[in-house]
Amino acid sequence: MRKIFTLLLLAGTFGLALVSCQSEEKKRKTVFVIIDGITVDNIERMKPSAIFDIASVGHYSRGYCGGKVGQYSETPTISAVGYNNILTGTWVNKHNVKNNENQSPNYNYWSIFRIAKEQKANFTTALYSSWTDNRTMLLGEGKPETGNLKIDYVYDGYDLDKENFPKREYDLHIYDIDSVVCERAAECIRTEAPDLNWVYMWYPDDAYHIFGDGSFSDEYVYKEDALIAKVWEAVKYREKEHNEEWLVIVLTDHGRDELGYGHGGQSDRARAIWMSTNLKEVNGQFAEPYLSHADVNPTICKFMGFEVPRDLAFESDGSSFYGPRDIYDLQSHNYDNKVMLSWKVDQGKGNARVFMARDNKFAQGQKDDWQEVATVPVSDGGCTVDLGTVDSKIYKFAVQTDNTILNLWNPRDPNRPYSPNQ
């Protein structure tokens, strides 16, 4: 009888332990890979194996960069500009990185790395990149303006190492650098598993600048994809051997002109980007014509459970493609002294709170005076706001629901778009 009781006790204890293990939440981590300058049509024609294996677990979609054409958010389709779109979840009118040179980021619009470091919990970060500017300029590591941001694991600056990476014909030393970058990323993810990881891959952009569309560029897209495979295998190892759940996003920073050589303008091909993710469930944001660079930052925040200060969230130009989406496609129309706001409804439950600010102190590091001007059912699809008697150069609107925040600016003079960074 005593043996039976002991066995029952052990079985009960084991059962409790099993339940406890099963209920333990997986630690969430993220890696996003920016691979420079591969067009939508080329990636879809070639279907590189690693990029599309990631998508086979989750999803693939086309998207856009370049902000809204002809509006205050129109953004150059240039590399560093694209990186900062992704990092901050905003367009150039806010983050102020206008080209690859003479960068002057407005650090008041926090990067995803600063958001991670401002959390109460300790989230570790990692950057794997050819050059240092991604860290020292775009992220602003160590600057007072970024709260003295510190990246925990750094693998960059290889472009300065002329001894190990001497210049090669067709700039192939940059491909050599990309190879090391991805090796370091795979090794670090496999052994250290930082919580937030950014991998930057440079060479495809140079291949296209030199040869345009053609077999040479194709060859190196496939070779770069093989490098991504190393990072992807490291992620799969972590998920198999550890209690972790990883978000993987691979995307490009811009498209190209019609021959594949250049970029920077607002043609359909230059503005078109693509995105591959292992997320099994995505909402309607992860689809044309809504998916954009600006959606990556809020998606990572939602997946990782980052708390984002309200005033910063009110500045985000993107929307998470992870989790529920209540509303999308916020628009405004001026009518006399009123602004008519409209949105499309994804889920018609709950209320939409509408906020308005008559200034843009946020761009200078101060708080805007946000006033709640309306509360309406989400299902109404919009509301009309009276601007009152106080004139302003710009009116900022934010619409907040249970699961979504959308914002837009409404410059009063459409012929003179408002630009706070000029």
**DSSP letters of 25-49?**
PPEEEEEEEEETT--HHHHHHH--H
pLDDT in tens, 152-190: 999 999 999 999 999 999 999 999 999 999 999 999 999
Residue-level pLDDT at 413:
60
**Same domain membership, residue 400 and residue 288:** no
Beta strands 153-155 and 125-128: pairing type?
A: parallel
Would residue 2 count as lying in a domain? no
Residue-level pLDDT at 356:
97
Residue-level pLDDT at 214:
98
In the structure, what pLDDT confidence band is assigned to residue 389 with cuts at 50, 70 and 90? confident
**Same domain membership, residue 300 and residue 344:** no
**Same domain membership, residue 200 and residue 298:** yes
Residue 174: CATH number of its domain: 3.40.720.10
**Owning domain of residue 147:** 24-307
Q: Which run of H or of E encompasses 384? A: strand 382-386
* Residue 157, Ramachandran bin (φ over 0: left; ψ between -120 and 50: alpha; else beta): left
Would residue 312 count as lying in a domain? no
* Residue 376: strand pairing partners: 352
Tell me the mean pLDDT in the region 291-316.
Answer: 98
**Same domain membership, residue 299 and residue 343:** no
**Same domain membership, residue 386 and residue 259:** no
Residue-level pLDDT at 421:
60
> Are the CB atoms for 249 and 51 separated by under 8 Å?
no
- Give the list of residues 6+ apart from residue 62 with CB closer than 8 angstroms, or none: 40, 272, 273, 274, 275, 288, 291
∠ CA 199-202-208, rounded to 5°: 145
- Is 392 strand, coil or helix? coil
Q: Which run of H or of E encompasses 410? A: strand 405-411
- Token digits for 90? 């905003």
Q: Which of 275, 307, 339 is the last residue of a domain?
A: 307
Residue 265 has pLDDT above 90, yes or no: yes
Percentage of residues in the chain with pLDDT exceeding 70? 92
Would residue 13 count as lying in a domain? no
Angle between helical axes of 79-88 and 296-304 (0-180°, round to 10): 30
Using CA atoms, how far residue 176 sits from 4, 78, 187, 301, 363, in Å, is 66, 23, 17, 33, 39
Q: Which of 307, 336, 360 is the last residue of a domain?
A: 307
Place of tokens 């794997």: 128
Residue-level pLDDT at 233:
98
Using CA atoms, how far residue 104 sits from 261, 293, 419, in Å, is 27, 20, 14
Please give the mean pLDDT across all residues of the chain.
93
Q: Which of 276, 307, 338 is the last residue of a domain?
A: 307
Place of tokens 């190892």: 237
**Same domain membership, residue 331 and residue 236:** no
Would residue 11 count as lying in a domain? no
Tell me the mean pLDDT in the region 109-131.
Answer: 98
pLDDT in tens, 28-79: 999 999 999 999 999 999 999 999 999 999 999 999 999 999 999 999 999 9
Using CA atoms, how far residue 307 sits from 23, 27, 38, 125, in Å, is 23, 16, 33, 16
Residue-level pLDDT at 24:
77
Residue 347 has pLDDT above 60, yes or no: yes
Residue-level pLDDT at 26:
95
Integer Cα distance of 236 and 233 in angstroms: 5
- Token digits for 105? 């980021």
**Same domain membership, residue 406 and residue 287:** no
Would residue 314 count as lying in a domain? no
In the structure, what pLDDT confidence band is assigned to residue 20 with cuts at 50, 70 and 90? very low
Q: How many residues are present in the chain?
A: 422
Residue-level pLDDT at 393:
83
Tell me the mean pLDDT in the region 342-353.
Answer: 94
pLDDT in tens, 186-244: 999 999 999 999 999 999 999 999 999 999 999 999 999 999 999 999 999 999 999 99
**Same domain membership, residue 347 and residue 256:** no
Residue 11 has pLDDT above 50, yes or no: no
Residue 398: CATH number of its domain: 2.60.40.10
Question: 382-385: long-range contacts at Cβ-Cβ below 8 A with a sequence spacing of 24 or more?
Answer: 382/340, 382/341, 382/342, 382/343, 383/340, 383/341, 383/352, 383/354, 384/335, 384/338, 384/339, 384/340, 384/341, 385/338, 385/339, 385/340, 385/341, 385/354, 385/356
**Same domain membership, residue 88 and residue 210:** yes
- Is 162 strand, coil or helix? coil
- Token digits for 337? 């002294």
Number of domains in the chain: 2
**Same domain membership, residue 296 and residue 354:** no
Helix, strand, coil shares of the chain as percentages rounded to 5?
A: 35, 20, 40
- Compute the CA torsion angle 284, 324, 51, 317 (nearest 10 deg): 80
**Same domain membership, residue 233 and residue 345:** no
- Give the list of residues 6+ apart from residue 165 with CB closer than 8 angstroms, or none: 158, 159, 173, 176, 177
Neighbour tally for 232: CB within 10 Å = 25
Would residue 271 count as lying in a domain? yes
Would residue 84 count as lying in a domain? yes
CA 365 to chain CA centroid, nearest Å: 22
Would residue 422 count as lying in a domain? no
**Same domain membership, residue 270 and residue 153:** yes
Question: How many separate helices (H) and strands (E) can be counted in the chain?
Answer: 13, 14
Residue-level pLDDT at 7:
44
